Amino acid sequence: MPTSVGIPLEFIPKESTTSEMAKEIVIKKIANCGTLTLFRREYSKAIQCRYYDSKNKKLVRFTTEAETITTAEQVAKERYFEYRQQQHNLELVSDKTYERVGWRLIQQKILDDEARNIKLDNRSKSQNAKYKHQEIIQVIGNLPIGAVNKFKINDVLNHIRQIKKTNKKSTLNKYLISIREVLNFAIDENIISHLPNFPKVEGTNITRNYFTKKEYNKILTLIKQRMVDDKKNFKMLEELYDVFVLLVNTGIRFGTEFDNLKIKHFQKADVGHKESLQITIPKSKTKVREIYSLPIKSTFERIKKRYPNPNDYIYLNHLDRNYAHRKIGELFTDILRASNIDNVLYTSRHTYIVWQLLAGQSVHSVAVNCGTSVQMIEKHYAYAVKPKQYAEELTQKRKVR
């Protein structure tokens, strides 16, 4: 006997239905994703997931292989939206809804990435576009592409504010760019004739946090202590210690830049402090570039002893790069939680920039070494620069020529 929503009673998950169900402890019902639910089986650390497949009339269960709710939710959403996309491709008659046009554009992006031999990981452009599209279609997916207007786009922004719990202009603008790309693609395909007006983004420009010297030392101390207490993860904690020191003292972006660094990309700096390193960044956000680190030769010597071959990655060399990135990030987040510090590993880059500015380095030199612009430094980190730092220079009386 089906229920009012069309799901047979026997498929509605109830913990008391069978002994098997009784072992499933529900953790979270994921919003805006149908029946998608996170749960944990008794005696299991990994978080499981389930959703109802209405086409095949069965309950689908799978493991996310993650122990944290945040990671598990991301994996579950990816799997669920792959299922939804498959159903969408099979059942949707019209190809002129926003959702359908968006998937066609993403498929084209994937083909472009493959043609350029770009690995389709969770940081490739096609995959980033896919993640944003999956969130946008929750609001305007079923709309005819020509019906997307300023007010509907504003509904999307409000939805993003709610699920992301943020009002940052930079985040909201990324979703506007995604919508604009889909609409421009629709124009190229002669589905619509022009772009609608876009709403003006109302949000906040937030300064970027950094670790204070006290927090930095506290984190390093806690990692050392965790090495003593947690013998199982000793090697990974040992690597996390060096990763954190390296990131804070170089300003390298924790992501594609850092993940692809190998031993061969490091060498002794031919100028400056004798303990500094010259590093070639092979995969940068902008281009291949060389940077100079603060004195961290001893840290690199430990890394080189761990991974002696020139083609070895500098951390978790034996793991896939995406998996290594996720594991070291999760471990660091756990350390921060124990330290009562609300931040992420990427904050190490912000820390480097702020510390350099506080030490009196020029904005231009910091921008060049970090592979960014002077405008970006001034926009996000100007709060760290105090006139007192340059009091001597500012108060010098100079002759007018």
- 322-362: per-residue pLDDT in tens? 888 989 999 999 999 988 888 889 999 999 999 999 888 88
289 forms bridges with which residues in the sheet?
281
DSSP 314-349: SS-TTS-HHHHHHHHHHHHHHHHHHHT----TTHHH
Of 204, 205, 203, 186, nearest to 195 by C-alpha is 186
pLDDT for 54 equals: 76
Residue 335: CB atoms within 10 Å: 22
pLDDT for 398 equals: 55
pTM, to two decimals: 0.58
The answer to whether the CB of 178 falls within 8 A of the CB of 136 is yes
**3-class SS of residue 62:** strand
- 224-265: per-residue pLDDT in tens? 999 999 888 899 999 999 999 999 999 999 988 899 899 999
CATH architecture of the domain formed by 213-389: Orthogonal Bundle (1.10)
Q: Which CATH number fits domain 92-206: 1.10.150.130, 1.10.10.10, 3.30.1360.170, 1.10.3720.10?
A: 1.10.150.130
Q: Compute the half-sphere exposure of residue 390: CA atoms within 13 Å on the CB side of its CA.
A: 11
User: Percent helix, strand, coil in the chain (nearest 5)?
Assistant: 55, 10, 35
Residue 279 has pLDDT above 60, yes or no: yes
For residues 309-329, give the mean pLDDT: 91
Of 243, 261, 394, 229, nearest to 327 by C-alpha is 243
Report the b/e string of 128-167 with b at 16+ CB within 10 A: ebbebbbbbbbbbbebebeebeeebbeebbebbbeeeeee
Q: In sequence order, what are the residues at sequence separation of 6 or more whose Cβ sits closer than 8 angstroms to the Cβ of residue 13?
A: 21, 24, 37, 50, 59
Residue 34: CB atoms within 10 Å: 14
The answer to whether the CB of 328 falls within 8 A of the CB of 236 is yes
Of 84, 31, 29, 77, nearest to 53 by C-alpha is 84
pLDDT for 146 equals: 85
Residue 1 has pLDDT above 80, yes or no: no
Distances (CA, A) of 216 to 83, 257, 355: 43, 22, 12
Instruction: Locate the domains of the chain by residue range.
Output: 1-67, 92-206, 213-389
Length of the chain: 401
**3-class SS of residue 228:** helix
In whole angstroms, what is the distance from residue 206 CA to residue 312 CA?
Answer: 37
- 154-169: per-residue pLDDT in tens? 999 999 988 888 888 8
- 177-207: per-residue pLDDT in tens? 999 999 999 888 888 888 888 988 876 666 6
- 86-131: per-residue pLDDT in tens? 665 544 434 588 998 999 888 888 877 676 655 555 456 777 788 8
